Chains A and B, each alone.
Chain A
């Protein structure tokens, strides 16, 4: 085997690829050859590091030097200075946002310091297209242990004792779900992975699929053994082409080594895995809808019971879990339930991956121990609010979740604390909002999403979300009426209690939680026809500041409604009756002379 004195890891996750990491990788290959280093330094294409904001990311080992926003033209300098002469390139290091100090080492960066990367432990460290790198990090040991040393019942007990709960939203105990499927009568059973990550702004499953696909495969194989199944399906979004490609490679490699297929580890256990590409429907995240979609039908949910554990795919007992849940399984089996149960809060064990986005300085994926506070995630890991603006709220759990205001920032996060705060864990999207975000507009945004994604099967969801959306649209346009808030509340309660599936049952949450914490903003829109955040266009007005306007006429020329008039070299004026509030004038003005109020 070839021994290398160093490794250069180039991130090939979707975020970094979008920032140009493919070109960086190609240039690195060229430069390593040019400097005759290709026999000494190994170039590795990895999955996502989670710090997409700083991409393309390049890490050099053994030192663990972390380079960010690397461009192809920087590569030669890294190779010549760092790899050849041993002097890290200072200008490409990560700079601490507060102290402005350079932070050369991966593990010292604030973004990573407070994280506890278990599920994401391999992402960014191994080449996801090479099964041997996964095996070198103890991959498939858990499957071997389960198949050769444990009975299926023991596997289920272990998962139950660990306290693992579903990471896709509901938080149902995973071991219990497996037990239902195990006990359901039937000779053919299915294991299904929900990789239809549809929540806007949650991309942890994508990162696992792209960065550590074998963890999912191993987790599914263990689940199949536990419930007595020999066939599995991974239902993955067609919008994730790279994830699909890597999954296919991983499945083929696992087959080749006999880790999938017939008589695995000589135990007599067989397991076959299929990939199904979703075709774009948010409701397919609901398990009965997902099963309908695998069967080739419209992805509409049905009444439960019977639960999929008894009547699932093709009417056979089936167990559906999401990607992050399965990826936890090999770690629990390998290290034991006690190790896992020691992490987290009383009822929520282990870690959760959050997708931290919105108006925070450091965006990306953060895996943290359950029970951490939102303040730690947003300020310590996320580095605080962009431009040091004022924090307003964080939306947690996507369109099914709710917002958490400043006074609850010190709430320890777990499944149950979030529910009592009017939000939910959901799949773990965390979108941070500052003072410029209008909460009524945000509620409208989410309702617009759920209304469009409603499958139309049941009336409360189909009609109810539409009526709620109409009301919210009126309010944000300044046409709100007395009684709108009460009507929204009563509709929300009805939709929540009478919808068929989770989509409808949770769709009103963003409205209810913004009403709970930001009722004054609704009232300002309805009573004073004013948007406190200045975000609702229809309620805004534009004005030219006379002392700043030099009369260059560029705003008047760009105005599509001819609402701006004035003589050359004299301050201009906007006619509010003609103004359509498009904002083109602000974009054009070079003198900051136009303000939106």
Chain B
């Protein structure tokens, strides 16, 4: 347990380490937010405030950046992140049916987290694996040539 930059004793001092690494450098807000998000999988308000204070920027500016980019989450996410591709190729090859099946299997809506906290579901514009459409990614693993019937089996692996 280290003393954190926010003045409190936090879970760990990783945020302080990250901030120190980027101290005095220009244009580092996005990489700092990316690294900070790795700590808890999302950006709690306290973290955003700590980053704003450290770089002497208004909270609104840092919050503005965090909410602009799709990568940043302000709410805790599930243990595993499912990204169902909503790109054009997946769309014309039945991507919607895949999304619907994942939603009904986990009983969640896009953007939501399952009740057991195991999965978060994010639609994504394109995963760049169009040759295998329709596709989805769970964490860093890509699953291609999907059919709705394959979904339960894949989800059961996690």
Contacts and interface: CB of A to CB of B under 8 A. Distances in A.
A297 B124 contact: no
Contacts of B133: 357-358, 363
Contact of B131 (A15, A240, A279): A15
Among B34, B71, B72, the most chain A Cβ lie within 10 Å of the Cβ of B71
Contacts of B26: 295-296, 314
B128 A206 contact: yes
5 contacts: A314-B27, A357-B89, A357-B130, A395-B88, A446-B88
Interface stretch (B2-10, B13-21, B140-148): B140-148
A239 B88 contact: no
Nearest to A587: B148
A282 B125 contact: yes
B89 A14 contact: no
B41 to A, nearest CB: 15
A355 interface: yes
B91 interface: yes
B31 A429 contact: no
The 4 closest A-B pairs by CB, nearest first: A52-B131, A280-B70, A279-B69, A18-B142
Contacts of B87: 200-201
A511 to B, nearest CB: 15
A431 interface: yes
Interface in B122-153: 124-133, 135, 140-145, 148
Interface in B66-121: 68-72, 86-89, 91-93, 97
Given A314-B26, A431-B92, A296 B65 contact: yes
A123 to B, nearest CB: 14
A203 B127 CA distance: 9
B69 A296 contact: no
A398 B125 CA distance: 12
A80 interface: no
Given A358-B92, A358-B93, A297 B65 contact: yes
Interface string B22-46: 0000111111011000000000000
Contacts of A299: 68-69
Nearest to A293: B30
B128 A294 contact: no
Nearest to A14: B129
Interface in A180-232: 197-203, 206
A15 B29 contact: no
A363 B129 contact: no
Contacts of A363: 89, 130-131, 133
Contacts of A296: 26-30, 65
Given A201-B126, A239-B124, A297-B29, A358 B88 contact: yes
Interface of B: 26-31, 33-34, 64-65, 68-72, 86-89, 91-93, 97, 124-133, 135, 140-145, 148
Nearest to A53: B131
B140 A241 contact: yes
Contacts of A587: 148
A453 interface: yes
B130 A281 contact: no
Contacts of A51: 131
Nearest to A584: B104
Contacts of A197: 128
A460 interface: no
A278 B93 CA distance: 28
Given A200-B125, A587-B148, A445 B65 contact: no
Nearest to B140: A241
A55 B131 CA distance: 9
A321 B33 CA distance: 27
A257 B93 CA distance: 46
A433 B93 CA distance: 9
Contacts of B34: 238, 277, 279
Contacts of A241: 140
Contact of B129 (A18, A198, A279, A358): A18
Nearest to A359: B92
Most chain A Cβ neighbours within 10 Å, of B34, B68, B89, B131: B131
Contacts of B127: 239
B146 to A, nearest CB: 11
B144 to A, nearest CB: 5
B101 to A, nearest CB: 10
B149 to A, nearest CB: 8
A449 interface: yes
B92 A281 contact: no
Given A52-B129, A203-B130, A398 B88 contact: yes
Contacts of A355: 130
Contact of B132 (A15, A199, A300): A15
Nearest to B100: A582
Contact of B92 (A297, A314, A437): A437
Given A282-B125, A296-B28, A298-B68, A201 B148 contact: no
A398 to B, nearest CB: 7
